[in-house]
Amino acid sequence: MKNQLSQLTSLKTTIRQILGTRLTNIIKLSEKEFNLLIKELESDPLFEKLRNERIIRYKKFPNTGFSNAFLEFNENISIDHSIIDIGSILERKEEVIRKIKQIGIEDFKKHILYNDDNLSYSEIAEKCKVTVDEVKKIIDLLNEISIQSEFHNPSSIDISSQIKYNKIASIDKDEKGHFMINLFSPNMVRGRYELDYEKLKEIKNRKMQSLVNKLELINARKTLIYQILEKLISHQKDFLATGNFDNRRLLTQKDLSGEINIDPSIVSRIIKNRSVVIPAGIEISLQDFFSNKKDIKKLLTRKIIEKSKSKLSAEKIKQMIKKEFRVNISRRSVAYYLEEFKLRK
């Protein structure tokens, strides 16, 4: 019995390791590689068959929308012009956007972008009063926006450095004053794939399980990105409301990984080189939402000052931080923070 339990535990560990490795691999993909994978899967006749039979549906993430930034043109972009014909792309984009405006933004979102009713191209064309060929052109542009995100939604962070950021969303306030996530990638806007597993069991197709496995991994990456954005908004409302970095709450990557029950290394990989635009109109990296060691020490220093009714020396504050929070900080650092707080008053 003990041997059987040991084998079972070992098997569960092995399964977790396999799944973890596969998830890590899909998270490592660049935005371009990830969206090319989605395009390839959705071009598969089996995917189209399952979608038409309502076995696969798109499920939009709550409190998200599509940023209208895709309607803007960016002609002066730091990109390798030898691989991308910018003039051709902008001309094609302008033509398609004119057609989207003719359809109307609401009908475009409802029938083409979200397509909650799983309409066919001909049904979409009928609803939007356009041709099937025009529907295909719009969908091709949406795929291109996802794949060539660095062209259509370029980041303005450190454009002279070797680090290139992927601007994935803008965080905005809705009409009720609540924060919402407006995504730049149409693939993220559509949300996750909702699979009817009961109907899938009835289908005899050797390719099906491979397709389902890939769709589940795509779901995992999309869901984790969404969960992290949602948690960052929840924790950093004061910062988002003011745009003042001093208003950030104490938050570490380890804290957040515990909340969504994933390994901290996964959080680290997801936030790396990704950025968002906050309500103040500033683009910041996702890493800026988290506290580093200096931020933590500064916050603890401020907490001790605010709790004390009398003026404290740097040495006294140092001792109180060590006793109360079990954090070591030099007297010199405390003195530096005290001087910084005075200057900001």
φ/ψ of 167, rounded to 5, equals -80, 110
Total residues found in the chain within this entry: 345
Q: pTM of this prediction?
A: 0.79
pLDDT tens digits for the chain (345 residues)? 555 455 445 544 454 454 557 888 899 898 899 999 999 999 999 998 998 888 999 999 999 998 876 666 554 444 444 444 556 666 777 888 889 989 998 899 899 988 878 888 899 999 999 999 999 999 988 888 888 877 777 788 865 566 788 999 999 998 888 999 999 999 999 999 999 999 998 887 888 989 999 999 999 999 999 999 999 999 999 999 999 887 888 888 999 999 999 999 999 999 999 999 999 999 999 999 998 777 778 888 888 888 887 888 999 999 998 888 888 889 998 888 888 777 454
φ/ψ of 59, rounded to 5, equals -125, 105
Query: Domain coordinates of the chain in residue numbers?
Result: 28-65+157-291, 68-152, 293-344
User: Number of H helices and number of E strands within the chain?
Assistant: 17, 7
Write out the H or E segment, with its range, that includes residue 230: helix 208-235
CA dihedral 311, 315, 316, 317 (to 10 degrees): 80
Phi-psi region of 191 (alpha: psi -120 to 50; beta: other; left: phi over 0): left
